[in-house]
C-alpha cells in the first residue's frame, strides 16, 4: 500500500530540519516525513558553512528573519538539552564587523543607514573605535566600520545535528531516500516518489517542501518546474596560529571581502585557530567540492597578514569547499510555487541558509498550516519574481 503523510520535506539540512520542527510544533498531529538523500551530510552546505550569524541585511524582511534566527540560536543549546540532545553550537555573540576603506565607505554608510531603518541593531564605528575594539588590527586605511553587537558565530555541524534531533524529538520522521518525482494530481501536489536502499518508496502528501539547498533545482525539475538556483563553490580554511590572539575578535570582514573568525579551543589544551574565507563573484557554477589551496595562499593570507598581523599563521589545520545555492538576485526563494499548489520552496538562500533557517522553518510551517505566512512579509521572495522581473535586492550579500 502507498503510505501517506501530511507533509513531505525534501532535504534534511538546517532549512529542512527547521521546517520539520516548526511543522510538528504548528501541526502536532501531522505526519511529517523528511527525505534526506545522504544522512551523513558529508556535502551538506549547512555542515560546511562558516557558521556566521548576523542581522546586518539591507532589507526589512531579511533583518526581521535574521533577528528571529539570532534569538533562536541564542537559546539553541538550551533547547536541544531540553529535548535530550546535548548540542554545543556555542553561539558566541562577539559581533560582526564590516570594514570600509575610502573606496567602500559610501556604500557601507548607506548600508548602515538602511540597516538601522530596518530594525537591525548596528553601530557605526570610527577608525579609532575599530582600533580600540580590535587590538592588533591595521586600521590606517579604514574610514569606518559597522558593528552588529548581537551577531556572532557558532558551530554549523552542531547546529545541523541539533536541529535534526529537535525535529525528530518533535515527531518528524527521517527517511534515507532521494526524491526522483514530485507527483501531481488535479493540478496540485499529491506526493513524492523516492529511491531508497530498499527500493522505490512512494508517499502521498498534499504538501511537499523543497528544502534541498544546492540541489533544489533538481527537486524543482522533479516537479516539472524550473527554479533558478545554482550551486557555486565556496572555500574555507581552518588555520593553526603560532600564539593566541590578543582579544576575542568578532567576525571581521576586510574591505575586499576576505573574512575570518576565531575558532575557540573546545577543551583545555586545544589550540586556538581561525576560520577564513572569501567569496568570489566570478566563481564558476557547478557541483565542485575540490579545494583550491592556491586561493588561500594567493588571496586570503596576504589580506590577513596585512590587516591583522596579530594572527601569525603556523599551518593549515583543515581545508574544505562547500556550496552556496545562488539565485539571480542572491536572495532566497520562499513560498508556495504559484504554478503548483502545495509545493513550497524554501531554498536558494545564497550563503545565508544557516543564518535564516529558524525563521524559514517558521514561515514554512505557517504556509502549510494557514496558507499564508503571518510572521514575515515573504511575498518579495516568491518563486515567480524572476519571470516577472521583480528581483528582490538587499545590498548586503556576502
Question: Strand ranges (DSSP E) for 123-248?
Answer: 123-125, 144-148, 152-153, 173-185, 188-196, 199-204, 207-210, 230-241
Q: What's the mean pLDDT in 191-205?
A: 96
* Set of cell numbers at residue 293: 589551496
pLDDT at position 397 is 56
Nearest Cα to Cα of residue 231 among 395, 348, 383, 332: 348
Q: Are 155 and 49 a contacting pair, CB within 8 Å?
A: no
Rounded Cα distance between 398 and 174, Å, is: 32
What is the value of pTM for the model shown? Answer: 0.96
DSSP code at position 18:
H
**DSSP 3-state of 371:** coil
Q: Are 347 and 210 a contacting pair, CB within 8 Å?
A: yes
Rounded Cα distance between 106 and 1, Å, is: 63
Q: What's the mean pLDDT in 66-89?
A: 96
Average pLDDT, the chain: 96
Q: Which residues pair with 274 in a beta bridge?
A: 239, 262
Q: How confident is the model at residue 1 (pLDDT cuts 50, 70, 90)?
A: low
pLDDT at position 268 is 86
Q: Which helix (H) or strand (E) holds 295?
A: helix 293-295
CATH of domain 3-70+157-229+328-388: 3.50.50.60
Q: Which residues pair with 232 in a beta bridge?
A: 285, 324
Residues of the chain within CATH 3.30.9.10 domain(s) are 93-150+231-323
65-99: b or e for each residue (b if 16 or more CB lie within 10 Å)? bbbbbbebbeebbebbeebebebebbbbbbbbbbb
Rounded Cα distance between 372 and 223, Å, is: 21
Chain segment 219-274, per-residue pLDDT in tens: 999 999 999 999 999 999 999 999 999 999 999 999 999 999 999 988 888 889 99
CA angle (286 as vertex; 284, 289 as ends), nearest 5: 100
Chain segment 298-329, per-residue pLDDT in tens: 999 999 999 999 999 999 999 999 999 999 99
Question: Which one is the CATH code of 93-150+231-323: 2.40.50.100, 3.40.50.300, 3.30.9.10, 3.20.20.140?
Answer: 3.30.9.10
pLDDT at position 269 is 84
Chain segment 15-64, per-residue pLDDT in tens: 999 999 999 999 999 999 999 999 999 999 999 999 999 999 999 999 99
129 pLDDT exceeds 80? Answer: yes
**DSSP 3-state of 189:** strand
Rounded Cα distance between 142 and 255, Å, is: 9
Residues of the chain within CATH 3.50.50.60 domain(s) are 3-70+157-229+328-388
pLDDT at position 396 is 65
Stretch among 1-5, 175-179, 355-359, 362-366 having the lowest mean pLDDT: 1-5
Amino acid at each position: 500500500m502507498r503510505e501517506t503523510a501530511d507533509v513531505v520535506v525534501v532535504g534534511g539540512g538546517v532549512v529542512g530540519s527547521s521546517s520539520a520542527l516548526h511543522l510538528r510544533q504548528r501541526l502536532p498531529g501531522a505526519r511529517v516525513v523528511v527525505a534526506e538523500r545522504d544522512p551523513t551530510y558529508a556535502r551538506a552546505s549547512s555542515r560546511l558553512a562558516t557558521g556566521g550569524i548576523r542581522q546586518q541585511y539591507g532589507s526589512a524582511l531579511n533583518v526581521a528573519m535574521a533577528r528571529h534566527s539570532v534569538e533562536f540560536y541564542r537559546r539553541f543549546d538550551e533547547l536541544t538539552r531540553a529535548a535530550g540532545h546535548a548540542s554545543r553550537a556555542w553561539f558566541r555573540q562577539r559581533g560582526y564587523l564590516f570594514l570600509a576603506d575610502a573606496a567602500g565607505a559610501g556604500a557601507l554608510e548607506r548600508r548602515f543607514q538602511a540597516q538601522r531603518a530596518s530594525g537591525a541593531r548596528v553601530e557605526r564605528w570610527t577608525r579609532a573605535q575599530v582600533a580600540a575594539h580590535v587590538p592588533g588590527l591595521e586600521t590606517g586605511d579604514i574610514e569606518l566600520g559597522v558593528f552588529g553587537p548581537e551577531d556572532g558565530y557558532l558551530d554549523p555541524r552542531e547546529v545541523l545535528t541539533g536541529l535534526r534531533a529537535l525535529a525528530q524529538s518533535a515527531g518528524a520522521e527521517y527517511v534515507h531516500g532521494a526524491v526522483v518525482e514530485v507527483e501531481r494530481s488535479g493540478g496540485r501536489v499529491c506526493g513524492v516518489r523516492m529511491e531508497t536502499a530498499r527500493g522505490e518508496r512512494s508517499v502521498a502528501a498534499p504538501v511537499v517542501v523543497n528544502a534541498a539547498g544546492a540541489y533544489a533545482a533538481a527537486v524543482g525539475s522533479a516537479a516539472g518546474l524550473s527554479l533558478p538556483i545554482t550551486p557555486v563553490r565556496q572555500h574555507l580554511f581552518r588555520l593553526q596560529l603560532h600564539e593566541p590572539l590578543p582579544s576575542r575578535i568578532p567576525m571581521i570582514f576586510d574591505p575586499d571581502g576576505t573574512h575570518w573568525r576565531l575558532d575557540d579551543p573546545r577543551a583545555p589544551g586545544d589550540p586556538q585557530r581561525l576560520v577564513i574565507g572569501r567569496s568570489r563573484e566570478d566563481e564558476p557554477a557547478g557541483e565542485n567540492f575540490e579545494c583550491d589551496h592556491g586561493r588561500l595562499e594567493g588571496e586570503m593570507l596576504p589580506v590577513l597578514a596585512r590587516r591583522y598581523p596579530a594572527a601569525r599563521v603556523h599551518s593549515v589545520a583543515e581545508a574544505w569547499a562547500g556550496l552556496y545555492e545562488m539565485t539571480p538576485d542572491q536572495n532566497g526563494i520562499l513560498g508556495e510555487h504559484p504554478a503548483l499548489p502545495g509545493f513550497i520552496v524554501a531554498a536558494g538562500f545564497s550563503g545565508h541558509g544557516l543564518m535564516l533557517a529558524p525563521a524559514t522553518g517558521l514561515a514554512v510551517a505557517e504556509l502549510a498550516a494557514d496558507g499564508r505566512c503571518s510572521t514575515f512579509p515573504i511575498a518579495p521572495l516568491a518563486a515567480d519574481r524572476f519571470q516577472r522581473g521583480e528581483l528582490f535586492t538587499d545590498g548586503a550579500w556576502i
